[in-house]
Structure 1
């Protein structure tokens, strides 16, 4: 499992497996968020199995699928509310972790300096500099 910490509230990861869920719980994650649609790709674990593993390990499960390359403002709103209301730390996953990072960044842009967001994302291994115009739009919307 390739966990990439963004900050103390959220980490992201590429696709996790059923066995990874127990490890995530052992590491202290309280909420597991799936930002990947079920059956997006052949061979990925079924979301129902990951949900069962999360619940078996005392974690809260949030299924919030987002289509790759098609993150809407409503998705960002939903993600922001989830982060605010979830027990932390949160582990969010998708195919590569990028979708989760983009959702986090667009939500964070509403209240955090863009350079700080870019730095945190780079520290987690994601270059989201191409999001600058959309982050600026999110900042103006607040």
Structure 2
């Protein structure tokens, strides 16, 4: 798996990392991932690294692929809903990528609101070095809406 960036193993079913090269999709499949979720907007990457290129490489490796852009303007309710659909409708384990793995992990946490206990979500984030106590209230509010 030398083609892969260092992985953030948030749960047994979800990992995140910096955007890998398109050539790494076969390594992701070999590692047991079944779905790749692109959380990185095309405006951040060079030609050849855009979501369409990554989707083609993922599909060639036998992986499902979803695009759920997480921009620096913030995570919207539509973004959370799209991430939730990707996580629930596409087979796991899931691999999400962005610039460094942080946005992918945060949008995963928000998408899991109501599907997993808030304490479990927060502990998963803290275990991988993303202790964000301020996110708890947002997760609990989203869970209450589900």
The question of a shared fold, defined as TM-score above 0.5 by the shorter chain, is answered with yes
Tell me, yes or no, if structure 1 residue 71 matches structure 2 residue 75: yes
In the alignment, structure 1 residue 115 sits paired with structure 2 residue 119: yes
* Cα distance, 1:69–1:54 mapped onto 2, change above 3 Å: same
2:93 paired with 1:89: yes
SS in 2 for 1:11: strand
CA RMSD in angstroms, aligned pairs only:
1.8
Q: Are the aligned partners of 1:68 and 1:99 in contact in 2 as well (CA < 8 Å)?
A: no
Q: TM-score, normalised by structure 1?
A: 0.89
Residue of structure 1 in register with 2:7 after alignment: 3
Q: Distance in 2 between matches of 1:72 and 1:108?
A: 15
TM-score for the superposition, normalised by structure 2 = 0.86
Q: Which of these residues, 123, 132, 139, is aligned with residue 135 of structure 1?
A: 139
Kindly indicate whether the alpha-carbon contact (under 8 Å) linking 2:37 and 2:86 is maintained by their aligned counterparts in 1: no
Counterpart of 2:15 in 1: which secondary structure?
Answer: strand
Structure 2 unaligned regions, length at least 5? none
The aligned runs of 1:50-65 (5 Å cut-off) are 50-65=54-69
Runs of 4+ more than 4 Å apart: 41-44
Deviation for aligned residue 1:54: 0.5
The equivalent of 2:109 in structure 1 is 105
Whole-Å separation in 1 of the counterparts to 2:125 and 2:13: 14
